[in-house]
Amino acid sequence: MKIALAQLNFIIADFTGNSNKIIDSIRRAKEQGVDLIVFSELAVCGYPPDDLLDYPHFNETCEQTIHDIAKHCVGITAIVGSPMENPDETGRRLYNAACILSNGTLQDVVYKTLLPTYDVFNESRYFEVNDHFKTVEIAGVKSAITICEDLWHEMDRFDYQDNPLGELKQFEPHLIINISASPFNRDKMEERMEVLKRQSKFAGRPMIYVNQIGAHTDLIFDGRSCVINSRGEAVMKLGSFEEDNAVIDLNEIDIKSGIEEKEEDDIEYLHKALVFGIQDYFKKMGFKKAVLGSSGGIDSALVQVLASEALGSENVFAVMLPSQFSSEGSVKDAVELSKNLGNPYEIIPIENAFKAFESGLSGLFNGMAFNVAEENIQARSRAVFLMGISNKLGYILLNTSNKSEMSVGYSTLYGDMCGSLSVIGDVFKTDVYKLARYINRDREILPVAIIEKAPSAELRPNQKDSDSLPEYDILDGILKLYIEHHKGPNSIIAEGYDKAVVERVIKLVNGAEYKRFQSPPILRVSPKAFGRGRIMPLVSRW
């Protein structure tokens, strides 16, 4: 049996576009003599559709699209993910399903058993749990079809009671198929591959794994579909962050030896994910050009480089907005970066705007010392200019805040937190530096002065981040343990961090929750990003 893996980039609710991609892949697979073509989880509607699943018309369109695609499955079988109505009167209205299309019709349906309800996933909100296990015969081959999480039952943190593959193993299938929508994060690539290898070895059967690619606002899907032999060795891998397809003969899978798997560079994949996230967001939203505030600092510089790679340098407009506290070097460095990249740029001093606000508030603020209020007025003045440019020119404003700043509230609401997309809001400051050095690996794109200067918001004379925050290697270590690993203060202190620093950092994180609630969507690249994957109460005494 010849099997095609179709790793495609879908747009949520674009039924015409998605079905055209699927049908085109089916047509090409038929020309190659393929017997079975496999698509990803919820391919028909795109993943995740979220509360669109609450609309009956949306679900009816999904099912109608499945039947339309089935008409093209003559002389070939296709497995296509889609929501399907629950035929029973009890339970949730929908199943997360793998539809088996053949002979021009919907032949069979397999439902998902393990519904993830953690981090960015909320599938039990919409779908009913499968409790009926069966294999499906495809071209004479008994096949066990699973859907994404169904292979992750043994992960301790999930505490699943069911073992879908264990149930299916009893039917002695000849092939395991998993259709997936598994999002990217930096810690997951190796773990995912280990799960697939372990499960194919457990079943003693070859496995076809098809994952989607694409960025759906905050979630980035990396693809990396693959074929695993029954010994738990990867014999074929598709590309990452790109549409890809491949054909393999089932009879050859177990004959093949495992391919050489090179060690992956974490920063290289982080860089690739961020560029792809920007690019796909703009493409799917129909945007062409971006604007950002270019301060001469490392965060805005990094975003400017990533955006230029994603959109083309000519489509990224850098705006320098110096105040009376901005150093001459910062403006010079920002201009040099724009020239290195070939970005259009403009210098618009904000001193007059800031003084106008000061004058307007002088009566109310009379006799009061310069403090965070005046600092924030500068940040908000910049946001007014940037949003004005965005509105007038139709450019999309990119947010340049990093995860370290957002964690401790070192950012200004309606100021530097403005933007339609937060590019590095899930990247700690220490990793910002690593990315900058990676970008400069072959030649100097980011001026070295930007990388080497002490971080500063430049909102008062001689200001440095270290005046009010621990050094970033210490801060980021604490933040990672608290936010991504859910460690409490005692556990973090036991790791060797100073008690007073730990308690202060945690207090800052908890106190800034209301700010993050109002932040733009953040490209998720870590196991625990701010946004849909981290839901915290705004009013709390924790």
pTM: predicted TM-score of the whole model, two decimal places:
0.94
pLDDT tens, N- to C-terminus, the chain (542 residues): 999 999 999 999 999 999 999 999 999 999 999 999 999 999 999 999 999 999 999 999 999 999 999 999 999 999 999 999 999 988 999 999 999 999 999 999 999 999 999 999 999 999 999 999 999 999 999 999 999 999 998 765 666 788 999 999 999 999 999 999 999 999 888 899 999 999 999 999 999 999 999 999 999 999 999 999 999 999 999 999 999 999 999 999 999 888 877 777 899 999 999 999 999 999 999 999 999 999 999 999 999 999 999 999 999 999 999 988 878 888 999 999 999 999 999 999 999 999 999 999 999 999 999 998 999 999 999 999 999 999 999 999 999 999 999 999 999 999 999 999 999 999 999 999 999 999 999 999 999 999 998 777 666 676 676 677 899 999 999 999 999 999 999 999 999 999 999 999 999 999 999 999 999 999 999 999 999 999 999 988 87
DSSP 87-119: SSSSS-SEEEEEEEEETTEEEEEEE------ST
Q: Is 148 a catalytic residue?
A: yes
State whether residue 475 is helix, strand or coil: helix
Please pick, among 73, 99, 148, 226, the residue that the annotation labels catalytic: 148
State whether residue 308 is helix, strand or coil: helix
Residue 123 identity: E
Distance CA 525, CA 320 (A): 28
Angle at 536 (CA atoms; ends 535, 541), nearest 5 degrees: 170
Residue 46 identity: G
Please pick, among 21, 41, 403, 515, the residue that the annotation labels catalytic: 41
Q: Is 351 a catalytic residue?
A: no
Tokens 């296709």 — which residue? 78
Strand partners, 247: 4
Residue environment code for 244-269, b if the CB has 16+ CB neighbours within 10 A, otherwise e:
bbbebebeebeebeeeeeeeeeeeeb
Ramachandran sector of residue 367 (left: φ over 0; alpha: ψ -120 to 50; beta: rest) = left
Token reading at 372: 């965070």
pLDDT of residue 160: 79
Distance CA 351, CA 357 (A): 10
Please pick, among 112, 169, 289, 480, the residue that the annotation labels catalytic: 112
Classify residue 481 by its DSSP letter. Answer: I
DSSP 106-168: EEEEEE------STT--GGGTBPPP-----EEETTEEEEEEEGGGG-TT-TTT--S--HHHHH
What would the CATH number be for the domain defined by 269-465+512-517?
Answer: 3.40.50.620
Distance CA 45, CA 37 (A): 18
Extents of the domains making up the chain:
2-258, 269-465+512-517, 470-511
Distance CA 173, CA 285 (A): 43
The distance in angstroms from the start CA to the end CA of the chain is 58
The domain 2-258 is classified under which CATH number: 3.60.110.10, 3.40.50.720, 3.40.50.2000, 3.30.56.10?
3.60.110.10
Dihedral sign for Cα 409, 415, 417, 422, please.
negative
